[in-house]
Amino acid sequence: MHIAIASDHAGYPLKEILREHLSRQGHEVLDCGTHSAESCDYPDFAKVAASAVNDGKAQRGVLICGSGIGMCIAANRFPNVRAAVLHDTTDAELSRHHNDANVACFGARELPEEEVMRLLDLFLATPFDGGRHERRVEKLRHLC
């Protein structure tokens, strides 16, 4: 799977861990920055990764900032992106089953790295249920 990954400075160390984790699993990872722990602005990097998902250059995205919230807000400004902040297995599964989320957002200050890796793997492995949820997801494309 092609996966775009990005972070701000707060998420940089976790991004590096997740990038390597995904590569070891055989995914093609597009690293959209940041490339250091130097202070930066999360929208700049969310834009690059979310654009890759929006335009079909990546099938999934992973965004990391301090809380996951800022990255999620930025990513959801793109019409073909459905980003969700993941805190637990329910978030990881339902965001895929019901919402066909294609971008997982994490708060680097919220969860241990092992838990983030577990949630990311679950997110990537969980299929979209379709059916009645398909109609609802399609409506998201036409809200604005």
Distance between CA atoms of 133 and 125, rounded to whole angstroms? 18
Domain ranges (residues) in the chain: 2-140
Tokens of 11: 């998420």
What's the pLDDT score for residue 142?
A: 82
pLDDT of residue 97: 98
Which position among 2, 87, 98, 133 bears the catalytic label? 98
- For the chain, what is the radius of gyration of the CA atoms? 14
Q: Tens of pLDDT along 5-26?
A: 999 999 999 999 999 999 999 9
Model pLDDT, residue 143: 82
* Both structure tokens of 78: 């793109």
Percentage of residues of the chain with pLDDT beyond 90: 97
Asked if 98 is an active-site residue, the reply is yes
Q: What is the rounded distance in angstroms from the CA atom of residue 131 to the CA atom of residue 45? A: 34
What pLDDT is stored for residue 39 in this prediction? 98
The b/e string for 78-117 (b: 16+ C-beta within 10 A; e otherwise) is: beebbbbbbeeeebbbebbeebbbbbbbbbbeebeeeebb
Choices 1.10.1060.10, 3.30.9.90, 3.40.190.10, 3.40.1400.10: CATH for 2-140: 3.40.1400.10
Sign of CA dihedral 72, 75, 77, 82: negative
